[in-house]
Structure 1
Amino acid sequence: MSVQRDPRTLLYASLLLVVLVVISTGNNYWLRLASNAALYVALASSWNIVGGFTGYPSFATAAFFGLGAYASAIAQTQGLSMPLAWAIAALIAALGAYALGLALLRLRGHYFAVGSLVVAEVLREVMAAGGEFTGGGMGLNLPLLQMPPQAQGQFFLGMFTMLAALSVLVSWIIERSRFGAGLRCIEQNEAAASMLGVNTTRYKSLALAISALLAGAAGALYANWINYIDPGDVFNVLLSVKPIVMALLGGVGTVAGPVIGAVGLVGLEEIVTRSFLDLTGVFFGLAVVVLVLFLPGGVVGLRWLKDRLAVREAA
């Protein structure tokens, strides 16, 4: 089985090579851009577990991202080490999502979408009203790492890349597991899945928890990356919207789709931001319209690529 016959292997190998080149050059601009792309690969892949495999249109990514960021920041201000704070933050996001899912995932369609969107807004208000413990509306400063700026950029690109790779690996494992088959059944026909013995509430809640674990870890990394967080930043609704658009661009419900979409859209966003700073929101709105009308299956759904993948599977 050659790499040439598997576009996905070529994609992952190429992206890893790019990361290694960027780390070796130490250019701060490219370190920042590559870190941002890796961050969104993780977020888009985490969203895809719920929105793609399960078919539930979640807007809760910002909630889990922000919760992870604040949990990690608060833990570090209380004296915990950075790695331990990251682990605790991811676990808190996952446990919170599982508990939330037991109630929220009883809703369907646009009711669930609205409910998941409200969660981020509630958490934003809670953190803003948290006083000295959360920093209130002024936010929190995190301890500075004792290393040069260039080394920090290289370190965080490595961390974000590992998280992105973990997110893709988790998606790949789920897609091929019995658990993933259950999620697919729910996505196709939840009532039928329940009749076949699938505990739909438990499956959906677990999917949401895994998604939140990855998003919470991303938030924890992000907090230390920029050394400062505030409610308006880490609970920004765009943190829920962007991963959805990225998954749509690459291909919802696939493992490679969110990767393609995240890398492509971060690059396009950088071009738009540098040229038309005030039009970023318009850009994402137009992107959704174009994707729905002209590319409903995403890049992975393009016929020539599907044919290549079919050849690979048949080999």
Structure 2
Amino acid sequence: MTRSNLILLVLIACIAALPLFGGAYALRLGTIACMYAILALSWNIVGGLAGYPSFATAAFFGFGAYTTGVLLARGVPLVVAVPITWIASFALAALLGAALLRLRGHYFAIASLSLIEVFRELVNNATDLTGGGMGLNIPLSSGAGVMSDATFFFFAMWALLFATALMVIVVAGSKLGFGLGCIRQNETAANMIGLNATLYKSIAFGLSACFVSVAGGIYAAWVHYIDPSDVFDILYSVKPIVMALIGGLGSPLGVVVGALVYLGLEEVVWRNYIQIHSGVLGVLIVALLLFLPHGLMSLRDRLLSWRPKRV
């Protein structure tokens, strides 16, 4: 295991201590931080390792939220609903990926973006199952109390983040990760040497989607009410890309750091510039990307290059 990956796991372990330093606010912030990091890490498999600019994150986040939400509303326990969501989303994403990932560049980006609208319209029209535009009420998972529920969902999201990080580390060091790297560098050449690029991309797309979907499912159980405009919000596709760019594209540690930095900026800007928070946040992100085009992880290389060299 590389030093960067070890630091990543230590950082995630430190996040688990958040409940010790605050009440409901710390738990809410920690849960969102874990969720953002999951979305960014999952996107990094397709966008960072394979080099495919996917905008499908919001589609699978919403799919997972509604799959889990519908199951919970029908009395299925959360511990059963989550694995069903994981399997269903992986199968769906792998099948869709086999078709969509034959496209490249901006054609794939547009096709993946269209999935959000397709999924949203399906949910809007399946009123008997999903509640349509009126949304879906999800029963409380337990009657243990507000703080107990908040603590449970924080650790549920944290456990998923830890599992996502392990998955990304394993994939990056595996034959699949090597194949995705070849595809990113030159897909035509990868096909010519016998690499089944479509299969590799479909597996990566499926892995990316299933962890995002489970995050959506835990989110749905946490907030107890979802509607299409919320869980299929395009920002769930844009934010992970911004987080990856802030931290360092392709680096799992950089992506998680980027997610934490983004959430910190979002929270500070929201508190101080509530009327114009979107504009201020956008300016800060653009400035950060202009001065650090390769992300925060590039600071390490800059610092090393500034060290005085021994003669």
| TM-score, normalised by the number of residues in structure 2 | 0.92
Equivalent residue, structure 2, for 1:222: 219
Q: Over residues 1-59 of structure 1, what are the superposed CA-to-partner deviations in whole Å (9 max), with x where a residue is unaligned? A: 9xxx9465445424423432x22355000110011001111110000000000000000
Which of 157, 169, 186 in structure 1 is aligned with 2:183?
Answer: 186
The alignment partner of 2:127 has SS state of coil
Equivalent residue, structure 2, for 1:31: 27
1:59-74 to structure 2, matched below 5 A, reads 59-74=55-70
CA distance in 2, matches of 1:229, 1:249: 29
CA distance in 1, matches of 2:45, 2:129: 33
Equivalent residue, structure 2, for 1:202: 199
Deviation, 1:125, is 1.5
Deviation, 1:132, is 2.5
The alignment partner of 1:94 has SS state of helix
Stretch of structure 1 that moved more, 285-294 or 247-256? 285-294
Which of 104, 107, 125 in structure 1 is aligned with 2:121?
Answer: 125
Deviation, 1:279, is 3.3
Question: What letter corresponds to residue 143 of structure 2 in structure 1?
Answer: Q
CA distance in 2, matches of 1:104, 1:264: 32
Deviation, 1:160, is 0.9
Pick closer, same or farther for the CA change 1:196–1:281 going to 2, 3 Å. Answer: farther
Is 1:245–1:287's contact at 8 Å kept on the other side of the alignment? no
CA distance in 2, matches of 1:52, 1:207: 11
| Percent sequence identity over aligned pairs | 45
The alignment partner of 2:103 has SS state of coil
Deviation, 1:278, is 3.9
CA distance in 1, matches of 2:251, 2:71: 35
Q: Over residues 133-190 of structure 1, what are the superposed CA-to-partner deviations in whole Å (9 max), with x where a residue is unaligned? A: 1011011111112211111111111111111111111111111111100000000000
CA distance in 2, matches of 1:62, 1:108: 20
Which of 148, 156, 160 in structure 1 is aligned with 2:157?
Answer: 160
CA distance in 2, matches of 1:298, 1:71: 35
Pick closer, same or farther for the CA change 1:297–1:75 going to 2, 3 Å. Answer: same
5+ residue gaps, structure 2, are: 306-311
Pick closer, same or farther for the CA change 1:80–1:11 going to 2, 3 Å. Answer: closer
The alignment partner of 1:39 has SS state of helix
1:229-308 to structure 2, matched below 5 A, reads 229-283=226-280, 285-286=282-283, 289-304=286-301, 307=304
Q: Over residues 263-283 of structure 1, what are the superposed CA-to-partner deviations in whole Å (9 max), with x where a residue is unaligned? A: 111111011111222434334
Pick closer, same or farther for the CA change 1:11–1:106 going to 2, 3 Å. Answer: closer
CA distance in 1, matches of 2:98, 2:303: 36
Pick closer, same or farther for the CA change 1:155–1:199 going to 2, 3 Å. Answer: same
Is 1:248–1:291's contact at 8 Å kept on the other side of the alignment? no
